[in-house]
Every structure is written in C-alpha cells, then in structure tokens.
Amino acid sequence: MTELTNHDIYDDTLKQLLVDVADLREKITAHAASRLDKYQAYYRAGAFNKSALNLAYYLALRQFDLRHLQDRLAQAGLSSLGRSEASVLSTLDAVIDVLKRATDKAYSLDDKNPSESGFNRGLQLLEQHNIELFGPFHEHSKVHVMVTLASETAWNYELILALLEKGMTCARINCAHDDEVVWRNMIRNIRRAETETGKICRILMDLAGHKIRTGAIALGLPVHHIKVKKDVRGNVIAKGQLLLIAGDATQASGLMEGGLLFRVSIPDALHQRLSPGCRLGFIDARGKQRYLLIEQAVSDKAWLASCGQSSYLESGCEVDVLASEPTEDTNVNERFNLGEFAGGPLEIRCFKNDLLLLTENDVLGKPAEYDDNGDLIQPAQIGCTLSAFSSKLAIGQPVWIDDGKLGAVVEALTGQGALLRVNQVRSSGVGIQSDKGINFPDTQLGLSPLSEKDLQDLDFACTHADLIGFSFVETLADMDYLMDELAKRNATELPIIAKIETNLAVKNLPDIILGTIGRHTLGIMIARGDLAVELGSARLAEIQEELLWLCEAAHVPVIWATQVLESIAKKGVRSRPEFTDAAMAVRAECVMLNKGPYILDAIEALVNVMIRMQEHQRKKFSRLRALHW
C-alpha cells in the first residue's frame, strides 16, 4: 500500500473544501430565494435589485456556524469568508474558482474571475448610495460628518459657516427641540453658507417620535440662574444667554422647555428702547450688580441678551437702561420692570434602593418627604408623558430614566401609578429632571408610529429637509406608515433615515431593509444611546458590529450616532477611550456629533481621526499601508 504524501493530503483537503463551499453556496441560494418570496410586491415588476439579493444571501450565510470552515480555509492559505458582506456570492465563487483550479488540471475559466466584477460592484453600490444620501465626501475622507445643530445656529451665522469649513457635510435638526421659526433660520444659514463656501451640506430633520419623557416638576422660588461657562483658569468662554420678548408672561414662558433659551417678557416700551449694544443694569437676588448686553434682534418681538457674569435674575426685577459702554457716572436713561416668570424646578435626587413613584403626566414631580426622624412619608415622584402607562406595565419589568442614568424595576402598581425600586444608579445618586427619556425595554406599548407632533413637523420637513429621521421605528409596518404620509405630502423621493433604537427594531431590521430598499431610499442610524439602555452596554458592543455587517450587505449607508467625542464637544476635554470609539466609527458611512460649546474642536478631531484611519482600514479590510517603523 502506497503511503500518502503531504501533497496528496493537501490535495484531498482542497477537494473536501471545494465540496463544502459548493454545498454551502447551494444552500445559501435556496435559503435566500425562500426568504425573498414575501417581498416581491415591494420591488418593481417583482425583480429584486442586487442589494436585496445580496442581503438575502448574507442572511442565509449567517444562519450557519462557519467557524470551522473559516479555520480550514485559512489553514489552506485561502481567502476566508469573513469579509464577504458587500458581495456574498462573488466571494464564494472566487473561493470555488481557486479550489477548482487547484484540484482539477482540466478546469479552465474562459470568463474573468467571477469575484472581480461582483465584489467591486457591491462596494460601488454602497458608495453610490452613500453619495445619494449625504452628497460629496469631505476632501480627504469618504466618511461624512453630521452635527446636531444647537439653537444658537439660528442666529449665529458664523458658527454655521465654521461648521461647514471644518468638515460638516450633514446638519441634523432635532424636531424634539426648538420650533419652526428657529428651524427656518437654521436652514437659511446653512443654505447661505453653502453658497459662500461652495460646499454641500445635507439637512436631516429628525422627527421626535413617541419619546416618552418625564413630566413637569413642582417649582421653587422664581429666580433664574444665568450661567456662564468658564475654562480651567476661570476665564469666561461662553456668556449666559436669554431672550427678552415683548408681550405678556403667557407669551414668554420662563420654563426651558423644548431646548429653547430662557425667556422673559418685557414691556413694549422697553422693547422699543432696545438696540444692539444696549445695556440693562439690574441687582440680582444676591444683591450683586449685573448687566445684560443686548446682542441682536431674533424676531420683531424678541431680543437676544447675554450676561458675562453668573447671575440670579429675580422675577419682575427692575432693570435700568444704561449707556452702551460702562462709565464712572452710570447714566440711567429709564427704569423698567421685567415680566413675572415661574421659578425653577425642585431638585429630585434618587439613590440606590430608593422608591420612586411614576405617575400620570398631570401630577407634578416632587422630592421625597421625610418626618423629623428621617422616616419616609412619601417617596419621590415624577410624571410620565405616556398616558395610562401603568396599565401596560407588569411587576418586575425594568424601567430606565435619562438615557440609563437611573435604572429601576416595577415593585408595585397602584392607583397613583407605578412604584419603582431604584436598583442601578451612581453612588452619588441621580437628579431627575423633566423632559428626560423613559425606556420600558420589556413592555409592549402599542403606540402609533408617528405622534401628532411628528405629523405637523413632517409638513415642514417635507418642504425644507433633504432627509427624514424616523425615531423609534420598529417594524416594516412603521415604514409603510411613514411612506404613506410622505406620499400624502408629495414627498416620496425624500430619503428616510431609520433610527434603530430598540431591541425590537434590531430583531426586525432585515425585514425593515428588505421591505424598503426596493421602493424608497434608505439609510440606517445606529442610535447607540437608546440601544445601550435597551440592550445593555456589553450587548451593544456586539450588536453595533452586527448592524454594520447587515447594512453593508444591503449596501445601505449607516450613521454611527451618540456620544462620539462627547467630552470634547461638551467640555473641551480629550478622552482617550472616545478617540478609540471614533476610530471604530470610520467603518460607518457617516458619524454624528452632538452639539456642544466646543463642537468645532470635536469636528476637527474627528476629521483628523477619520483621515488617519482610512489610510489603514476600509470597513473590515486592513489596507496594509506601509508602516514607518
């Protein structure tokens, strides 16, 4: 009996690999065809496009545990299947072609290598869809930068101009904040900056959705703290701002709702006296002399004012109209009283094992009450904007508040609402504020895909936006609902950015994509903040990778969102772990930054990271640039 040589053993290994890979390809095509059957009605003439087919192939591929096959291919010195997302069949056909050439001397392939056109076509489709959504790339990078606009950009054109020059290619307007007047001014500034710079900036209007939030809190003394921002040396880097509005107190609420600046009503006579550069002197609640500087008119009834020192402004206090520049002899031209406004909310702070009563929205929040011995009389309470929420809850279900800063479980359901036991919170406790998100990850809420406010905002967005952000989408039926609403407004060409924010949305993402890409332009936002609350941070790290793979297989552009370089944008502080996170974000087609006083520094840092990382990596591919060691 002739002993087998190493060459024979290797040849047998390759032949078995050929059988296994060919068998895998056959199973994948059968699985994909079966999956796609129910989606034919969503494609013109029932013909699936390349992106839908490739996603179906990828989903079929990932039904199998390929770890052993991957190891065997690698040991044989062949390309593995771990980078096949953009073109599944082309990758398999390339491996099969190599194995046939190695095991069958009579085999020849007249046509070009099957991997070449197919593999490149997948990447080309993704890049094409990326440009369709977000426009041309930054000059040094093929990753787009999206920035959430602050209210300030409605009247600060220089900031918008600087954002575009630093590299912003898409501006996000969060419809949960501000109003149509502010949005219109933001958009006007962006279009003007586009004209002046020659750069293109897409506008995403992000519908708020059924963002379930904490309710209003009982108010304390009617004093407003005008805060200034200082650097580490104590120098003022951002003045405190507020709006002075001609009219009565009902037109100028003192509450900071919807992200608006604090607003104070002023008499019409004072309104007529004001002009840019004018100063208003007042004595604050601590007896300290302070001044308001009139910056500019933001409407025919409102003035933007700033204060360069920390101040405690009292409701109805007297203000003196002063000369534009301080002088030794302060010249008081006239004296007026500001309008009355309500006080700020009381502080509600919860610690681990505390009880918190979640009530209906019409009940004002308030801190816990204790007797003289320190025994609890009444637990802290906070309202919930979701009507009749307690009827949907069950004992033992988790509840998260303020992006997961406070975690609790339902301990009891009463006529007053849901009694929660706080079980996850930092050791110093968490202050609960109004208008903060509440998540019920294990609760079926049965809400309409779009709220009444969303539908009103959609009217505005359809005539002003380039992209529509769809918050809390969970099913293909939700997508159908939004597409129907777009059709009613003659806006069927307006691309949708589906925000993946819940566990259910993750589970239904293949269905959402396959049912949408045949009839509507689609992008996906990985909203990592809400996902982390729903799934837990450890699971999020895994899921965000899977979502990137899935979207690449469908050639659907991805926005990597939430807390990217947050420390820089908010505080001007550079965090090493955040730079690592930003480097990973390059695998998406667009990276989103949140607003903050140091947003220009954050954009500059992000673009720098993206340029460097793209020399090394494209998606999952290491490009093997020469190292300088």
- Domain of 77 in residue numbering reads as 6-119
CATH of the domain at 241: 2.40.33
C-alpha–C-alpha distance, residues 502 and 439, integer Å? 9
Is residue 526 in a domain? no
Res 197: pLDDT: 93
Phi then psi for 572, rounded to 5 degrees?
75, 15
* Same domain flag for 62 and 37: yes
Predicted local distance difference test score (pLDDT) of residue 620: 56
**Does some domain include residue 280?**
yes
d(CA 317, CA 282): 7
Residue 401 lies in a domain: yes
Q: Where are the alpha helices (DSSP H) in 307-374?
A: none
Other CB atoms within a 10 A radius of the CB of residue 538 amount to 9
Q: What is the pLDDT of residue 624?
A: 41
* Cβ partners under 8 Å of residue 604, min gap 6: 166, 167
Rounded CA-CA distance 491/482 in Å is: 11
Shared domain for 360 and 333, answered yes or no, is no
Q: Is the distance from CB of 589 to CB of 134 less than 8 angstroms?
A: yes
Please check whether residue 74 lies inside any domain of the structure: yes
Tell me if 384 sits within 8 A of 416, measured CB to CB: no
DSSP E strands in 308-456: the ranges are 311-314, 318-322, 334-337, 348-350, 355-360, 369-370, 376-378, 380-384, 398-401, 406-414, 417-424, 430-432, 438-439
**At which of 420, 439, 458 does a domain end?**
439
Shared domain for 419 and 378, answered yes or no, is: yes
Whether 138 maps to a domain, the answer reads: no
Same domain flag for 46 and 103: yes
Q: How many helices (H) and strands (E) does the chain have?
A: 16, 31
pLDDT in the model for residue 619:
59
Instruction: Print burial letters for 327-346: b (CB count within 10 Å at least 16), e (below 16).
Output: eeeeeeeeebebbebebbbe
pLDDT of res. 629:
44
CA dist 181 and 483 (Å) reads 26
Q: Is 400 in the same domain as 333?
A: no
373 in a structural domain: yes
253 and 328 co-located in one domain: yes
CATH number of the domain bearing residue 428: 2.40.33.10
Query: Among candidates 80, 82, 110, which has minimal Cα distance to 94?
Result: 80
Q: Kindly state whether residues 309 and 390 are assigned to the same domain.
A: no
Write down which residue in 408, 439, 470 finishes a domain.
439
Q: Which of 119, 151, 178 is the last residue of a domain?
A: 119
Residues of the chain with pLDDT under 70: 1-9, 79-80, 108-119, 138-140, 248-260, 324-333, 615-629
- Amino acid 70: pLDDT: 87
The DSSP element (H or E) to which 475 belongs, if any, is none
Q: Is residue 57 part of a domain?
A: yes
**Phi first, then psi: what are they for 69, rounded to 5°?**
-65, -40
270 lies in the same domain as 358: no
| pLDDT score, position 78 | 79
> What is the CA angle 4-10-12, rounded to 5?
75
In a domain, 245, yes or no: yes
* Residue 358 shares a structural domain with residue 395: yes
Please tell me whether residues 331 and 352 are part of one structural domain: no
The torsion angles phi and psi of 575, rounded to 5 degrees, stand at -110, 125
The reply to whether 259 and 331 lie within a common domain is: yes
Q: What pTM does this model have?
A: 0.76
pLDDT digits (tens, 9 = 90+) for 176-199: 889 999 999 999 999 999 999 999
Q: Distance between CA atoms of 281 and 335, rounded to whole angstroms? A: 9
What pLDDT score was predicted for residue 101? 87
What pLDDT does residue 120 have? 77
Q: How many domains does the chain have?
A: 3
- Do 88 and 28 have their domain in common? yes
